[in-house]
Chain A
Amino acid sequence: MRVGLVCPYTWDIPGGVQAHVRDLAETLLALGHHVRVLTPVDDETLLPSYAIAAGHAVPVRYNGSVARLQFGPVAATRVRRFLRDGRFDVLHLHEPVAPSVSLLACMLANGPIVATFHTSNPRSRSLSAAQGVLQPFLEKINGRIAVSPAARQVQVEHLGGDAVEIPNGVAVARFASATPLPGVAVSGGTIGFIGRYDEPRKGLATLLDALPRVALRHSGVRLAIAGRGDADTLLGGLTPKVRERVRMLGRVSESEKAGLLAAVDVYCAPNLGNESFGIVLLEAMAAGVPVVASDLPAFRRVLDVGHGGSAGRLFRTGDPADLAAALTDVLDDPGMRARLSAVGRGLVCAYDWPVVAAQIVRVYETVIAVAPRPVVAADDDVTPG
């Protein structure tokens, strides 16, 4: 099958959508499909052979944060060329509601179109307002995919459509076989945290509050923190007793992240809310690490709590005492860690990229239909409709 993927965000800036597109492309290639990706990029030398540059993206304030988007005649020319050269059986757009090459491709392409919606955090008014303008283009999409129930809800409530749910994938083997990052593991027990630690909703403050209480029982416990943020500000605000237990790793690459997860005894996700999927939990599960997480619906679902076995322990969201108790329990009991880890490794198989990609291919096959016709650029289309 010839698949054209369109990524709306700059390829060489790390992000969930970019990682999703990259892993999907590589999985489809490994399954023997022909795949091309169109994406904005800053440094074209960083593009893999299957990706095609759509040019530079410019920073725009969108959806409460700064997104780097691309929209204009240059991008339009590249989209047309991508569609002509690709002769795709199906065009798969990611997040085509932001003004980006994805939306451009949606406007310019005719033929079988699939779109994956990632966002679950709508600025409902701007999305609802945009819906009227975008509807003539969005109604060209033959099949919509949402990566989570929350993302699907955005479709239903704000974009007047519906979608099938297919979760984010995880490269299970990459995490299961990672070599532990040297110098992270300590004999007294190591807790891992990955995320933007200067973002209050990630809940690191709760974890830092809980740390001294965990140390009452596990005197050698350490916390390894990876992610974006200002390390000096964070460390400067801590008491010396907490600070000496914290190890800052800064921003980590994909392979370092796998190495970090391989090195820790327990992964902690103390988020306060707004988490729609919890991909890092799945990555921890793939690495065989037990998880201690806030009691959020998304985490509950991913950890499969209440289905006769769980890959982690939940604590009352935002409650340091309850978090400390949960961490202490897990660190205390190697048997429990082994059980949680085994359940996690089993559960995460359903999210392995080949499994997820097979579900996505079924969507492609469903929109390609009984009488296939290729994707073309709109003005090349000689047949009406």
Chain B
Amino acid sequence: MEVALVVLAALLVVSLWVATTESRLTRLGGRVETARAVLDAALVRRAAAVTALVDAAGDRISRADADRLRAACRAALEAGEPGRETAENDLGRAIDEHLPAECPADLLTDLDDASVRVVLARRFYNDGVRDTRALRGQRMTRALRLARDRPTPDFFEIADPTLHSTAQHSALHSPGGIQPTPPDTSTPAR
């Protein structure tokens, strides 16, 4: 009798835990998916801002620079997984190296705004990935194979973009402003 009660109680605890964990995994899945959509949109917007700058530059940009930037934008927009991170990093480098020296201030501010949103979206997406992986990696979650039907989300690792307009510099790269992040060294793999 007592044994049966103990077994019953244990089953109850386990099923409660399973239900909670299932709903946490579902919620995290939604969070990561939403964050990824925002990140994708932010990256597309950055490429669009670069294209707008090249279009507006006219003859203030050399043919070679313009071609390089357009090609990098196209490659970033068309890249699928894997290869997206490499293409976005390449676009980031192309922006740093080939942007015309004098750009219309509003378009430059637009590019910087897009870049800052890439930083935010990437951080929030990676936060969600980290939380998801931590929960999936727990011994009980693994033992009961609760996450087996769910895709494992991957971190999105690119270098944080540099900002170009002076106005944005003072506001965002000031001491204490939104800082470019060092690569995640704290990925918990519990």
Given the interface contacts A136-B20, A136-B24, A363-B120, does A162 sit within 8 Å of B130 by beta carbon? yes
A142 adjacent to B186 (CB under 8 Å): no
Q: Select the residue from B123, B126, B175 with max chain A CB neighbours within 10 A.
A: B175
A interface, size bucket? 35 or more
B interface, size bucket? 35 or more
Chain A 159-181 interface mask (CB, 8 Å, partner B; 1/0): 01111111100000000000000
Chain A 115-149 interface mask (CB, 8 Å, partner B; 1/0): 00000000000000000000110011011100011
Q: B30 interface residue, CB < 8 Å from A?
A: yes
Give the residues from 120 to 142 in chain B that come closer than 8 angstroms, CB to CB, to chain A: 120-121, 123-124, 126-128, 130-131, 134-135
Q: Select the residue from B120, B126, B130 with max chain A CB neighbours within 10 A.
A: B120
Q: A375 interface residue, CB < 8 Å from B?
A: no
Q: B16 interface residue, CB < 8 Å from A?
A: no
Q: A369 interface residue, CB < 8 Å from B?
A: yes
B120 adjacent to A385 (CB under 8 Å): no
Q: Which residues of B contact A365 (CB under 8 A)?
A: 117
A112, closest chain B residue (CB): B34
A139 adjacent to B38 (CB under 8 Å): no
A369 adjacent to B38 (CB under 8 Å): yes
- The distance from the CB of B5 to the nearest CB of chain A, in whole angstroms, is 27
- The distance from the CB of B115 to the nearest CB of chain A, in whole angstroms, is 11
B174 adjacent to A156 (CB under 8 Å): no
Q: A384 interface residue, CB < 8 Å from B?
A: yes
- The distance from the CB of B15 to the nearest CB of chain A, in whole angstroms, is 17
A385 adjacent to B175 (CB under 8 Å): no
Chain B 173-190 interface mask (CB, 8 Å, partner A; 1/0): 011111101001010100
B179, closest chain A residue (CB): A165
Q: Which residues of B contact A369 (CB under 8 A)?
A: 34-35, 37-38
B174 adjacent to A347 (CB under 8 Å): yes
Given the interface contacts A162-B126, A369-B34, A385-B26, does A362 sit within 8 Å of B177 by beta carbon? no
A162 adjacent to B178 (CB under 8 Å): no
A164 adjacent to B35 (CB under 8 Å): no
> Could you jot down 5 A-B contacts, CB within 8 Å?
A143-B124, A163-B123, A164-B119, A301-B175, A362-B117
The 9 closest A-B pairs by CB, nearest first: A167-B176, A350-B174, A385-B30, A301-B175, A139-B131, A366-B120, A143-B124, A370-B37, A369-B34
